[in-house]
Amino acid sequence: MSVTTYADEVEVPTATAMSARSPKIRRALKAEWTKMRTLPATWRTAVIATAISISLGIILCASQVHAWSSMTAQQRQSFDPTACSLFGIVFVGAVVLAGLGVRAVTAEYVTGMIRSTFTAMPTRRLVLIAKAAVTAAFVFPVTLLAAFVSFEAGQRVFVGKDLQVTLGNPGVLRAVVFGALAVSLISIFAVGLGGLIHHTAAATTALVLVIVGGVTLGQLLPVGFRQYVPGTALQAAVTVNHSAGLLQPGAAILVLGIYAVVTLTAASFRV
């Protein structure tokens, strides 16, 4: 005589549901990756973002070397050669590369291709999550490579003033990796913006305002609020010499992750 327990009755459907869902996830990821890698604009954006980010980092490092003799003792003590060399990565790189996340969603709404996407994959939230995952997976290695190059180039500029640091210095390697991770999280945030706004120009403008405008206009906010602004959190993620008004790097990554999750969740009700 066989006995069927309640646990057995529950377990089978759950396992079946999970096995049925896996092919859908793989299919959604494969479809989004195919779209991204076959668009020439994707690779042009990656090259342009890398070139501009590295160039800006070198220019900023050179300007700091030029101004070194006129800096106060306090300014010299708080100077962060790592964050300086990664400046272009976390601001220009974040805006340009995260733009891929915006366009991954809005371009399909503009062209009407989104109807075909949802016909092939009716689970709309799964499509949005796949777009976010593929965008972040593409942005991370591109940004990481750019960050390493920008860091090394910046440190060569600092040699003349003996300000250079190496990846072996405490906190430096973490800052480089966190810079790439932070930009990846911003790209997920950008996918959410695209899902909320559905218009490329408007969503891109919102992205720029959040990152760049957040840093400039954020100066008007109390320090306790300013440190949680996305642009300021990006800055904190690559900081080695901690400054007042900035979160610790790990906390900054957590804040950016929360922004990404909240925005993507909100967009899931809009697509």
Contact indicator for 133, 223 with CB cutoff of 8 Å:
no
Residue 118 belongs to some domain of the structure: yes
CA distance 107 to 199: 8
SS3 track for 120-162 = HCCCHHHHHHHHHHHHHHHHHHHHHHHHHHHHHHHHHHHHHHC
What pLDDT is recorded for position 43?
95
**Among residues 169, 207, 222, 16, which one has the least CA distance to residue 93?**
207
pLDDT at 215 over 80: no
CA distance 255 to 271: 24
3-state SS, residue 133: helix
Residue 18 belongs to some domain of the structure: no
Residue 150 belongs to some domain of the structure: yes
Q: Tell me the C-alpha to C-alpha distance, in Å, between residue 197 and each of 155, 251, 270.
A: 40, 28, 9
Residue 259 belongs to some domain of the structure: yes
Q: What percent of the chain has pLDDT over 90?
A: 69
What pLDDT is recorded for position 8?
44
Segment 125-141 shows an average pLDDT of 96
Q: What b/e readout covers 10-28, taking b as 16+ CB neighbours within 10 angstroms?
A: eeeeeeeeeeeeeeeeeeb
Predicted structure pTM score: 0.89
Residue 17 belongs to some domain of the structure: no
pLDDT at 170 over 50: yes
Rounded to a whole number, what is the distance in angstroms from the first to the last CA of the chain? 52
Residue 249 belongs to some domain of the structure: yes
What pLDDT is recorded for position 9?
40
Segment 261-270 shows an average pLDDT of 94
Contact indicator for 102, 207 with CB cutoff of 8 Å:
yes
What pLDDT is recorded for position 118?
87
- Domain that includes residue 123, residue range: 24-66+75-268
pLDDT at 2 over 50: no
Q: How confident is the model at residue 142 (pLDDT cuts 50, 70, 90)?
A: very high
Contact indicator for 235, 90 with CB cutoff of 8 Å:
yes
Least-confidence region, from 86-95, 113-122, 192-201: 113-122
CA distance 140 to 44: 16
Segment 90-109 shows an average pLDDT of 93
Name, of 152-156, 158-162, 217-221, the range with top average pLDDT: 152-156
Residue 87 belongs to some domain of the structure: yes
Q: Which amino acid is residue 41, in one-letter code?
A: A
Joined together, the tokens standing for residue 180 give 């790439």
Q: What percent of the chain has pLDDT over 70?
A: 92
pLDDT at 155 over 90: yes
Residue 6 belongs to some domain of the structure: no
What pLDDT is recorded for position 6?
36
Segment 198-208 shows an average pLDDT of 94
Domain count, the chain: 1
Contact indicator for 232, 215 with CB cutoff of 8 Å:
yes
Least-confidence region, from 16-20, 27-31, 190-194: 16-20
